[in-house]
């Protein structure tokens, strides 16, 4: 993969790629001392976090994180180089970065909407992973209808006082900072929203309470966060008062992989618990799984299902390739806005198929010594619903595609 892309590099990219490759060859971290979760959103222990934070810091210090951001905010000041670093990191099979919400959502939002001084204050420690970030959007009463959030910020002098309740807040248990969508005016739904960054860790027990919520899988990773008269400085407001919805769109666009700035991405490391959710992994599983006298991979119905998956997977890959071929595109957002929907649904159906291939053995879960692949496939299958629900459910994605791309009337 990185070789195919290398052929299209500019001279600057080619030089940077060679640098990344050399650095990774010498500095890729060794095996983790602890079992790692499947994704950063299920980091549960400080041992896991320490290992992953050390990796992100090393990668940042080496210039592989935030490459396309200006130097003044702690970036690398390069042009279109994050993609190169990502490709090299994936090819080198590095561990993932722990500060995913920071890198993927907070960084572009802060970059496009915060005061210069705040960017310089926050972004370097965000890129290095020293500060973990979380996203406080959802509330008990505001999920898909995000603009109905009620957590309120009231102005007192040049400070704001925050009261309310956020839920499903991934990584809040480790986070220093939160990007947060708040209501500053109860009489207007959209124009009554404002966007802030708030230091939550510093205020634990003093205006902020973080309580873990347990997932369908038995793992933790997300939380509820309660604000009780938390005070924040006005300089941590992003953009103007009442423009919170527009700022949130920057966050959501990047969250769904359709934003301007490439998110620093690392991953691919094989270890006891992370496994690749790919059709080829399921094909391998089907080869090794007995069905009657033969292998599951000989069953014609299963073969058909496997090939359906392979085709969808290749289709998504080719969509991404085609999205850079101007002459083969119609509406500019047509392919980018499909990314999140397809990636999450394809992963779900791949995991579902793996569970089907395992048959009765898929009843055995993590911790059971007879569980094939350590019980990872049932875990992946359950976790896949996190992907089709979080970051805008699949149904909401279809609304967006129908309305923004096909121009159909709004459902709300």
Partner 1 sequence: MTQPNNYGFGEEAALLKDSARKFFREHFPTDRLHALVAADPTPGRAPTCQWDEALWAQLVELGWTVLAVPEEAGGVGMPVAAVAGLVEEVGRAAFPCPLLGTLNATYVLVACGEAGAVGLADIAAGKAATLALTDRHGAWDPAATEVEYRDGGLYGTAWFVQDAGKCERLLVCASTGAGYGLFWVDAHAAGVTAEADGIVDLTRDQAHIVFDGASGIEVSGNAVSALHQAMPAIWTLVAADMVGAGEWQLQTTVEYVSTRKQFDRPLGFFQAIKHPLVEVMVQIDEAKSLVYNAACACDSEPEKAAQYAHMAKASASDMAAYASSRSVQSHGGIGFTWECYVHLYFKRQKHSQMLWGDGVWHRARLADIVIGTAA
Q: Which spans of this chain sit near partner 1 (rule: CB under 8 A)?
A: 4-5, 7-8, 283, 286-287, 294-295, 297-300, 303-304, 306-308, 310-312, 314-316, 318-319, 321-322, 324-325, 327-328, 334-335, 338, 341-342, 395, 398-399, 401-403, 405-411
Smaller CB distance to partner 1: residue 150 or 339?
A: 339
Residues 165-204 that bind ligand FAD (CB under 6 A): 168-170
Smaller CB distance to partner 1: residue 117 or 325?
A: 325
CB 306 to partner 1: min, Å: 7
CB 321 to partner 1: min, Å: 7
The backbone region for 275, taken as left when phi is positive above 0, alpha when psi lies in -120 to 50, beta otherwise, is beta
Query: In angstroms, what CA-CA distances link 186 with 137, 138, 214, 406, 407?
Result: 17, 17, 32, 33, 30
**Closest by CA position to 210, among listed 246, 263, 242, 168:** 168
Smaller CB distance to partner 1: residue 204 or 307?
A: 307
Q: Which of 36, 88, 386, 400 binds ligand FAD (CB under 6 A)?
A: 386
Contact 118, 198 (CB under 8 A): no
Residues 199-228 that bind ligand FAD (CB under 6 A): 222
The residue at minimum Cβ distance from ligand FAD is 143
Whether residue 255 lies in the annotated active site: yes
CB 197 to ligand FAD: min, Å: 14
Q: Does 99 bind ligand FAD (CB under 6 A)?
A: no
CB 113 to ligand FAD: min, Å: 18
Smaller CB distance to ligand FAD: residue 84 or 248?
A: 248
Tokens found for residue 267 = 């991953």
CB 149 to partner 1: min, Å: 24
Smaller CB distance to partner 1: residue 193 or 297?
A: 297
Q: Decide which of partner 1, ligand FAD, none touches 393; Cβ closer than 5 to 8 Å per partner kind.
A: ligand FAD
Counting every residue written for the chain, the total comes to 412
HSE, side-chain direction, 13 A CA sphere, residue 186: 5
Q: Decide which of partner 1, ligand FAD, none touches 396; Cβ closer than 5 to 8 Å per partner kind.
A: ligand FAD
Q: Which of 295, 396, 401, 405 binds ligand FAD (CB under 6 A)?
A: 396
For 309, which DSSP code? H
Candidates 18-26, 300-308, 340-348, 385-393: pick the segment binding ligand FAD (CB under 6 A). Answer: 385-393
CB 37 to ligand FAD: min, Å: 12
Beta bridge partners of 139: 142
Rounded to whole angstroms, the Cα distance separating 15 from 13 reads 5
Find the angle CA(67)-CA(68)-CA(74) to the nearest 5 degrees: 65
Q: Decide which of ligand FAD, partner 1, none touches 83; Cβ closer than 5 to 8 Å per partner kind.
A: none
Smaller CB distance to partner 1: residue 220 or 320?
A: 320
Strand ranges for 188-265 from DSSP E: 193-199, 208-213, 222-233, 237-238
Contact 390, 221 (CB under 8 A): no
Rounded to whole angstroms, the Cα distance separating 4 from 7 reads 6
- Active-site choice (88, 139, 224, 255): 255
Q: Decide which of partner 1, ligand FAD, none touches 141; Cβ closer than 5 to 8 Å per partner kind.
A: none
Integer-rounded Cα radius of gyration of the chain: 22
**Regarding beta strands 177-183 and 193-199, do their DSSP bridges make them parallel or antiparallel, or are they unpaired?**
antiparallel
Contact 288, 129 (CB under 8 A): no
Q: φ, ψ for residue 371 (rounded to 5)? A: -65, 125
Give me the 125-164 binding string for ligand FAD, x by CB under 6 A, dash otherwise. Answer: ---------xxxxx----xx--------------------
HSE, side-chain direction, 13 A CA sphere, residue 353: 28
Placement of tokens 């992370």 in the chain = 274
Rounded to whole angstroms, the Cα distance separating 268 from 283 reads 19
Binding site for ligand FAD (CB under 6 A): 41, 134-138, 143-144, 168-170, 222, 386, 389-390, 393, 395-396, 399, 411
Catalytic residues: 255
């Amino acid at each position: 993969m990185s070789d195919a892309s290398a052929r299209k590099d500019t001279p600057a990219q080619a030089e940077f790629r060679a640098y990344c490759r050399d650095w990774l060859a010498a500095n890729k971290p060794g095996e983790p001392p602890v079992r790692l979760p499947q994704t950063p959103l299920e980091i549960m222990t400080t041992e896991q976090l320490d290992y992953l934070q050390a990796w992100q810091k090393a990668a940042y210090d080496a210039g592989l994180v935030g490459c396309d951001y200006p130097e003044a905010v702690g970036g690398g000041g390069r042009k279109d180089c994050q993609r190169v670093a990502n490709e090299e990191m994936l090819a080198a099979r590095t561990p993932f970065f722990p500060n995913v919400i920071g890198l993927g959502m907070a960084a572009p939002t802060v970059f496009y909407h915060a005061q210069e001084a705040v960017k310089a204050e926050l972004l370097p420690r965000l890129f290095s992973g020293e500060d973990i970030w979380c996203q406080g959007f959802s509330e008990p009463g505001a999920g898909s209808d995000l603009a109905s959030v009620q957590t309120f910020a009231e102005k007192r002098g040049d400070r704001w006082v925050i009261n309310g309740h956020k839920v499903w807040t991934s990584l809040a248990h480790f986070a220093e900072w939160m990007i947060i969508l708040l209501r500053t005016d109860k009489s207007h739904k959209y124009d009554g929203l404002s966007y802030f960054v708030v230091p939550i860790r510093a205020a634990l027990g003093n205006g902020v309470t973080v309580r873990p919520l347990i997932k369908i899988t038995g793992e933790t990773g997300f939380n509820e966060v309660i604000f009780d008269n938390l005070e924040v400085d006005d300089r941590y407001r992003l953009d103007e008062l009442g423009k919170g919805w527009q700022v949130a769109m920057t966050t959501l666009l990047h969250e769904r992989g359709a934003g301007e700035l490439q998110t620093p991405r690392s991953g691919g490391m094989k270890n006891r618990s992370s496994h690749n959710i790919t059709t080829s992994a399921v094909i391998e599983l089907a080869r090794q799984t007995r069905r009657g006298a033969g292998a599951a991979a000989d069953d014609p119905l299963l073969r058909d299902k496997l090939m359906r998956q392979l085709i969808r997977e290749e289709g998504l890959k080719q969509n991404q390739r085609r999205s850079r071929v101007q002459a083969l595109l119609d509406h500019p957002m047509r392919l980018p806005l499909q990314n999140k929907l397809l990636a999450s649904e394809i992963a779900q159906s791949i995991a579902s198929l793996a569970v089907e291939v395992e048959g009765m053995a898929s009843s055995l879960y993590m911790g059971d010594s007879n569980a094939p692949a350590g019980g990872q496939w049932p875990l992946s299958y359950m976790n896949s619903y996190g992907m089709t629900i979080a970051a805008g459910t699949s149904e909401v994605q279809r609304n967006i595609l129908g309305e923004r791309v096909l121009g159909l009337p709004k459902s709300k």
